Amino acid sequence: MSLLQIRDLKVHFPVSRGGLFRSEKRLVRAVDGVDLEVFPGETLGLVGESGCGKSTLARAIVQLIEPTAGEIFIEGRPLAGISPSKLKTERKQFQMVFQNPFSSLNPRLTVADIIAEPLKALTNMNKKQRWNRVQELMELMNLNPKFLLRYPHEFSGGQRQRINIARALAVSPKLVVLDEPVSALDVSIQAQIINLLQDLQKKMNLAYLFIAHDLSVVKTLSHRVAVMYLGKVVEVAKTENLYHSPQHPYTKALLSAVPIPDPKKERERRRIPLSGEIPSPIDLPKGCSFHPRCPVAEGICRRDPPVLEEKVGGQQASCHLVPQDLTVETGRGG
Ligand code: SF4
């Protein structure tokens, strides 16, 4: 059974036009009908250009933003419409690590207080129990428990991100949503944090939804990868399949821009240029939203929106021109 299931999730923000049209309300379709699953112990990478809706999706999953429509299930239990006390119980199952290790920690709190925040909010632990748990987490993060009474500014960027991870793991969640957790860090520190995340996943059977724009980082950590474009998932596949034989033209273009460490292969790499700007999520193109930039678009693409479905090769993609796998009945899995 999936740990997290998202069905047709939408997050739309109303905005008003300026000037004479101020009263006219329009919608930013930040997330526009996303279906995804995350299984226990796996990492699902979520990639896409900035502004594609991945961070909004993450915030909707952890209930920091109320979805406009759609459903979120944790171990089959719906999150919508449940009582605040039940939501408090469910919140222990999913936690989030934010991108910026500098701004995501309250500078006025000690590290002990920061890590204890979710324990205070979501458990009945007394002070002594919280203190013991915080010490345990410091050791798990390879941080010296003697530093518990220090403040965030006394730590390096990598250490702060370890504190963020400790806070997320305090209540022993099953799913951690990681929103660009290493993009603000130096490359050598990035590798340390990725190794730490991999070790923690093995020890605690954690599932990650790992959001990043760096496709090399996503490849290292993810079992499956979902690609987002303008609020929609356009391809989902096992990592090796996606990187070796991408199906969707947008995935192909993204991957063609990733440098290859082998100098010979790097010289031979053919980049697929994407023409034009990303369309506005307020005014999405008719048909396939990728058609104004797609190098292989045809007439049908400007007319009918494609659906995410199982294609030949086993991955899911939403593209009229990728042949469908007619041997399967559903578009789920991957
Ligand atoms: Fe390109 Fe058409 Fe496929 Fe969209 S449906 S990705 S425009 S080929």
Cα of 252 vs centre of ligand 1, distance in Å, is: 12
Q: What is the pLDDT of residue 327?
A: 59
**Exposed, middle or buried: residue 294 (CB in 10 Å: 0-12, 13-18, 19+)?**
buried
Residue minimizing CA distance to atom 5 of ligand 1: 319
Separation of CA 301 and ligand 1 centre (Å) = 6
Ligand 1: distance of its center to the CA of 275 in Å? 14
> Do the beta carbons of residue 32 and residue 53 sit within 8 Å?
yes
Atom of ligand 1 minimally distant from the CA of 320 = 5
3-state secondary structure of 249: helix
Output the ligand 1 site: residues, CB below 6 A. Answer: 248-249, 288, 290-291, 294, 296-297, 301, 306, 319-321
* Residue 49 to residue 230: CA distance in whole angstroms: 9
Residue among 301, 302, 303, 304 whose CB has most ligand 1 atoms within 8 A, to mutate: 301
Is residue 105 within 8 A of residue 43, CB to CB? The reply is: no
Q: Which amino acid is at 218?
A: V
40-88 pLDDT per residue, tens: 999 999 999 888 999 999 999 999 999 999 999 999 999 988 998 999 9
Task: Please state which of the ranges 55-64, 171-180, 201-210, 278-287 shows the lowest mean pLDDT.
Answer: 278-287
Q: Which residues of 311-325 are buried (b: 16+ CB within 10 A; e: fewer)?
A: beeebbbbbbbbeee
Q: Which of 230, 232, 290, 302 to mutate to test the pocket of ligand 1 (most atoms within 8 A of CB)?
A: 290
SS3 of 290, please? Answer: coil
Is 50 exceeded by the pLDDT of residue 330?
no
Q: What is the pLDDT of residue 23?
A: 64
Going by alpha carbons, the residue nearest to atom 3 of ligand 1 is 319
Asked whether the beta carbons of 176 and 94 are under 8 A apart, the reply is: yes
d(CA 181, CA 331): 30
Which tokens hold the place of 271? 């980049």
What is the distance between the alpha carbons of residues 298 and 144, in angstroms, rounded to a whole number?
59
Q: Which residues pair with 208 in a beta bridge?
A: 43, 176
pLDDT, the chain, mean: 91
The protein residue with its alpha carbon nearest to ligand 1, atom 7, reads: 291
* Whether pLDDT at 333 is above 80: no
The better pLDDT of the pair 314, 19 is held by 314
172 Ramachandran zone, left/alpha/beta (phi>0; psi -120 to 50): left
Sheet architecture: strand order including 25-38: 25-38, 4-16, 69-74, 77-78
**Tens of pLDDT along 94-146?**
999 988 878 889 999 999 999 999 999 999 999 999 999 999 999 999 999 99
Residue whose C-alpha is closest to residue 3's, from 150, 185, 178, 208: 208
Banded model confidence at residue 334, pLDDT cuts 50, 70, 90? very low
Minimum-distance ligand 1 atom for the alpha carbon of 249:
6
Pick the most confident of 137-141, 210-214, 329-333.
137-141
What is the three-state SS of 77-143? Answer: EECCCCCHHHHHHHHCCEEEECCCCCCCCCCCCCHHHHHHHHHHHHCCCCHHHHHHHHHHHHHHCCC
Residues in Cβ contact with 46 at an 8 Å cutoff, skipping those fewer than 6 apart: 54, 57, 58, 209, 210, 211, 212, 225, 226, 228
Instruction: Determine the pLDDT at residue 332.
Output: 38
Q: 239 C-alpha vs ligand 1 centroid, how far in Å?
A: 22
Q: Evaluate whether 47 touches 216 at the Cβ level (below 8 Å).
A: no
- Mutation choice for ligand 1 from 248, 289, 291, 298, CB with most ligand atoms inside 8 A: 291
Find, among 211, 254, 190, 232, the residue nearest to 55 by Cα: 211
Q: How far is the CA of 297 from the centre of ligand 1 (A)?
A: 5
- Atom in ligand 1 nearest the alpha carbon of residue 291: 7
Question: What type of residue sits at position 63?
Answer: Q
Q: Does the CA dihedral 140-213-206-164 come out positive or negative?
A: positive
Q: How confident is the model at residue 18 (pLDDT cuts 50, 70, 90)?
A: low
Closest protein CA for atom 6 of ligand 1: 319
Q: Which of 274, 320, 322, 324 to mutate to test the pocket of ligand 1 (most atoms within 8 A of CB)?
A: 320
